[in-house]
Each structure stands twice: as structure tokens, then as C-alpha cells.
Amino acid sequence: MYNTNYHRAESTDDAIAKLGASDDGKFVSGGQTLIPTMKQRLAAPSDLIDLCHIEAMKGITIDGNQITIGAATCHADVATSKELAAVCPAICDLASHIGDPHVRNMGTIGGSIANNDPAADYPSAMMALNAQIMTNKRTIDTDDFFTGMFDTALEEDEIITAVTFPAPAKAAYSKFPNPASRYAMAGVFVAKLKNGMARVGVTGAGSDGVFRHEGMEEALTSDWSADAIADASVDEGDMLSDLHGDAAYRANLVKVMAKRAVEKAG
Amino acid sequence: MSSLTMTVNGSEVSGDVEDRTLLVEFIREHLRLTGTHVGCDTSQCGACVVHVDGKAVKSCTMLAAQANGCDVTTIEGVANGDLHPMQTAFKENHGLQCGFCTPGMIMSAIDMVNRKGKDLDEATIRSELEGNICRCTGYHNIVKSIQDGASKM
Ligand SMILES: Cc1cc2nc3c(=O)[nH]c(=O)nc-3n(C[C@H](O)[C@H](O)[C@H](O)COP(=O)(O)OP(=O)(O)OC[C@H]3O[C@@H](n4cnc5c(N)ncnc54)[C@H](O)[C@@H]3O)c2cc1C
Ligand code: FES
Ligand code: FES
């Protein structure tokens, strides 16, 4: 790892000021993506501004039907929150299958979403739950937030502070993990919103990162059942193809994971 | 450079280190506590697991500066005179061969019991060991050791 200067931020304003004062600084939350990347010398920020001590960015609040998760909340806290499990167990289940227990103790939802790894789990849930991404500057609709592999609508000096979404009527996540890395080779989050609309977020498979599958959404909105998506078509041309699985294989996996998720949601 | 102070295995320690120093480097090279191992450079093997403020973390994937002010427990800190029951269980159940993964396995196992209780079934133990790789044992005796150690904690 190249050398860097570490700073703890007390507030988002403090973090922005510290970033502004640095040469080529970066925010760090759980570090479970950034530190491995720095160890490989694939990133070399001059400064690291730690967001994990900003109290206002931590914790889960449920206000009526609206769920808000602070960006610096770690995966383990999402996985084990009883309050959250009562209103949206699917997101707890998703968090409980990210990486391993040690990664879950450090990694955060904000870091995962900001990074937008094409195989990360949370982005599919944000898409399906029609979440809004709250930053220190604005609120961004999920459909405008994920702009392609490892790319988001965030500006350089913008911090995700929380994500917020309404509790769905039903939801579930089904993931086919890569046996070595545990990242998704295909992961599908299905949600039936309380307004009757179904939304389907797909991760791990798309060649341009996370995406919504509109065909399945329409089918599920009119008939919430695994059979309803049996004939859905997943375009191989839009799939990732690599040594872990070619495009045809992934296209099929997306359908299988979607059906399993609908069955799991009940 | 940062001046760090933290509690390691119950004693306050401090040191001046470069900010890029990983927690595992601080533990092994500055404190000379070499029980915590480094088995990979991809954050996947779990040989480096320690507890920071009571939570199991990979000390190769955390800067020492991130742990400034924290309470850290390493494998050297779990025995209290006698071996910890989990250490004894690994010894009695042949839960190790070369022993390289063992410190991380034991730190993960103790954390597992702290979170999930003493009555652990095989499937739970295997899925909880997702982040710990052993290249020798084939895991069977590690699972047995953890089940045994958990019941005696
Ligand atoms: C062994 C291993 C297995 C893993 N398996 C999985 C898996 O199965 N599924 C999965 O989804 N992930 C997996 N991960 C990744 C893990 O979930 C990370 O925690 C997550 O992707 C990044 O979160 P972080 O808090 O660690 O972010 P960091 O590593 O701290 O930061 C990542 C990036 O986001 C930026 N950033 C961080 N926080 C914010 C913020 N609040 N606002 C704006 N920008 C921010 C940083 O500047 C950086 O560029 C795995 C990681 C490891 C090491
Ligand atoms: S050395 Fe930390 S995970 Fe391998
Ligand atoms: S005993 Fe050799 S790596 Fe586990």
C-alpha cells in the first residue's frame, strides 16, 4: 500500500472540509472494498477521511411505513435488526449473506452503494425497493443513482448519508454466490410495493451493472407468482461473461433466481 | 504518521506508525504479538481475525489508525491462565494440522458463540466459517472442535 494520511471526520461538513484540504483524498467507511484495493495498489488516495464516526450517519429508523438506514450502518447491524426484520425481512436476509461475518462487521450500506460493484448485493435491493439515496446535498432516486458499473450519480465531494424506502408488501432476495468470493454471480431482489407495483432488481449478471427487469416487473405486477415469469426473456447480450459463467448461463441464472425469490417472498 | 493508543489484551499500548500501517502489522511488527497470522492478500482467509470492541474483524483489512482508541483482543489474550475452552477443544478434537489458520479460527469461533449462543449446529458453524480458510484439515474437525468448545464456554 502506498502511504496515505488518515483523518476522522466528526460530521459531514467536517468530512467535506477535510476532503477539500487534501490533494487526492477519498472517503472511507468500512474499508472492506477500499483497503483491499489500496493493498493491491489499485487505489492510492493521498488522504482517507473516515466517515464511520459520524453518529448522524448510523442506525436504522422506522417511521410508520418509511424505513431509513444510515449510510455508516454495517451489514451485521442490518442483518440482525429486529425492528427492520418486522417490516422488511428481505433486506436483513440480504445483508446476512454479504461476504462473511468479519466483512459484515465492518462494511457499510453507504460504502456498498457508493462503490456500485456490479456483483454487490445492496444495489439490487435499492432498485427493487424504489429507494431514495440521501446525500449531504440532495436526495437521489435510485433509478437515477446507479449509472453503470462502479459508477453512480455521486459528485466527488458528495457523501451518502442514508438510504430511505417504504416497507414493501412482500419482498425477497435470492443470490447465486460465486463459490470462492461469495459475491453474486446473479442476485435478484423482487419486491411487491404497497401500491401494487412489482419491482425487480438484478445484480451480478448485467454487463453494465445493476439493472431493473421491466418484463418481469410487468408480469409480476399483474400476477405475483413464479409461473408468471417462467416465460420472461433475459437478453444474453446484456449479460456479463467471464470465467465464472458465460452470458447464456447468467441469463438463465437471473430467471432461476427471480423465480426462487418470488417463491421465497410468498 | 499517527500516534496511536489502544488497549490490546487488557493493556494500554501506544506507538507512532505510518497511516498506511494495517492493524495486523501493528499487532505483529510493533507489538510483536505474532499469534495473529497473515494468510492472504485478498481479505479472504481469516487467519488475521481479532476482536475490535468485541467484534470479529480481519485485521489485514483495517488500518491501525481506524482502531485508534479501541479495545483489541488477539489470540494471545483469550487464555486466562489455562487455555480458553475453545483452544482446549481444538487441541482435543484434532482441530488443526499445520496450525496456520487456527488463531483466526479460534477468534471467529469465540465470536460465533458470543453472537449465536453455545448450542451451534453443524450447518450454522459451516456457514459462519465463510471467512476462514483452512488448507489442511478439510474442516470436519474444526467444526467438531467449535461445537465442543462452544458447549464448554
Ligand atoms: C472477502 C470479502 C467478501 C465480500 N463479499 C461481498 C458480497 O458477497 N456482497 C457484497 O455486496 N459485498 C461484498 N463485499 C464488499 C463489502 O460489502 C464492502 O463492505 C462494501 O462493498 C463497501 O462498503 P465499505 O463500507 O466497506 O466501503 P469502503 O471500502 O470504505 O468504501 C468503498 C467506496 O465507497 C466510497 N464511500 C464509502 N462510504 C461512502 C459514503 N457514505 N458516501 C460516499 N462515498 C462513500 C469510498 O470512498 C470508496 O470509494 C466483500 C468484501 C470482502 C473483503
Ligand atoms: S490475512 Fe486477513 S483475510 Fe487473509
Ligand atoms: S491447519 Fe493448516 S491451514 Fe488450517
Around A212, how many Cα atoms within 13 Å sit in the side-chain half-sphere? 20
* pLDDT tens-digit readout, A26-78: 999 999 999 999 999 999 999 999 999 999 999 999 999 999 999 999 999 99
**Does the distance separating the beta carbons of A106 and B131 come in below 8 Å?**
no
Ligand nearest to the CA of B59: 2
**Nearest-by-Cβ selection for A5 from B19, B49, B58:** B19
DSSP code at position A136 = S
Average pLDDT of span B54-66: 98
Ligand 3 centroid–CA B135 distance in Å is 5
The answer to whether the CB of A90 falls within 8 A of the CB of A125 is yes
Cell matching residue B18: 505510518
Q: Average pLDDT, stretch B72-87? A: 96
Mean pLDDT score, A233-244: 93
Residue A102 CA: which ligand 2 atom is closest? 3
Q: How many CB pairs under 8 A join A and B?
A: 75
Q: What percent of chain B has pLDDT over 70?
A: 100
Helix (H) or strand (E) holding A177: strand A170-177
Q: Are B2-77 and B85-152 the same fold in CATH?
A: no
As to burial, measured by CB atoms within 10 angstroms (0-12 exposed, 13-18 middle, 19+ buried), residue A33 is buried
Inter-chain CB proximity A102 and B108 less than 8 Å: yes
Instruction: Mark yes or no for CB contact A6/B65 under 8 Å.
Output: yes
Q: Could you tell me if A176 and A190 are in contact, meaning their C-beta atoms sit under 8 angstroms apart?
A: no
Average pLDDT of the residues of chain B: 97
Q: Are A122 and A114 in contact (CB under 8 A)?
A: no
Q: How confident is the model at residue A181 (pLDDT cuts 50, 70, 90)?
A: confident
B1 touches chain A (CB under 8 A): no
Selected from 1.10.10.10, 3.40.50.2300, 1.10.150.120, 3.30.2350.10, the CATH number assigned to the domain covering B85-152 reads 1.10.150.120
Query: Given this model, what pLDDT does residue A47 score?
Result: 98
Spacing of C-alpha A229 from chain mean position: 24
Answer whether residue B80 shows pLDDT above 90: no
> What DSSP character marks residue B135?
S
Mean pLDDT (whole number) for B22-40: 98
| pLDDT of res. A182 | 84
Share of chain A above pLDDT 70, in %: 100
* Grid cell listed for A79: 442483518
How far apart are the C-alpha atoms of B88 and B95, rounded to whole Å? 10
Task: Quote the pLDDT of residue A95.
Answer: 98
* The CATH number of domain B2-77 is 3.10.20.30: yes
Local confidence band at A180 (pLDDT 50, 70, 90 cut-offs): confident
- The per-residue pLDDT of chain A, averaged, comes to 97
- At B73, the pLDDT band (50, 70, 90 cuts) reads very high
Asked whether the CA dihedral A119, B67, A79, A48 is positive or negative, the reply is: negative
Closest to B6 (Cα-Cα) out of B41, A6, B17: B17
Residue among B18, B61, B127 with most chain A CBs within 10 A, to mutate: B61
Task: Name the closest-CA residue to atom 32, ligand 1.
Answer: A111
Which 3 state secondary structure label does DSSP give A164?
Answer: strand
Pairwise CA distance, residues A4 & A44, whole Å: 7
Q: Inspect the interface and report whether the beta carbons of B41 and A99 lie closer than 8 Å.
A: no
Q: d(Cα B103, Cα B35) in Å, to the nearest integer?
A: 7
User: For chain A, which domains are there?
Assistant: 5-50 (3.30.43.10), 59-166 (3.30.465.10), 170-265 (3.30.390.50)
Q: Is the pLDDT of residue A179 over 90?
A: no
- Hey, what's the cell of B80? 486466562
Q: What is the pLDDT of residue B53?
A: 98
What is the domain partition of chain B in residue ranges? 2-77, 85-152
Residues of B in contact with A77 (CB under 8 A): none
Q: Which letter does DSSP use for residue A243 in this model?
A: T
- pLDDT band at residue A264 using 50, 70 and 90 as cut-offs: very high
Measured between its terminal Cα atoms, the distance across chain B in Å is 41
pTM for this prediction:
0.97
* Nearest ligand atom owner, CA of A106: 1
User: What is the model's pLDDT at position B112?
Assistant: 98
Residue A31 belongs to what H/E stretch?
A: none
Looking at this protein, which amino acid is placed at residue B48?
C
Min Cα distance A132 → chain B (Å) is: 29
Looking at residue A93, what is its pLDDT? Answer: 98
- Does B127 reach chain A within 8 Å, measured CB to CB? no
Given this model, what pLDDT does residue A49 score? 98
- Ramachandran class of A209: left when φ > 0, alpha when ψ lies in -120 to 50, beta otherwise: left
Q: pLDDT tens-digit profile of A103-153?
A: 999 999 999 999 999 999 999 999 999 999 999 999 999 999 999 999 999
Cell of A260: 426462487
Q: Is the ipTM, as predicted for this complex, more than 0.95?
A: yes
- Residue A201: band (very low, low, confident or very high) from pLDDT cuts 50, 70, 90: very high
Return left, alpha or beta for A237; rule: phi > 0 is left, psi -120 to 50 is alpha, else beta.
alpha
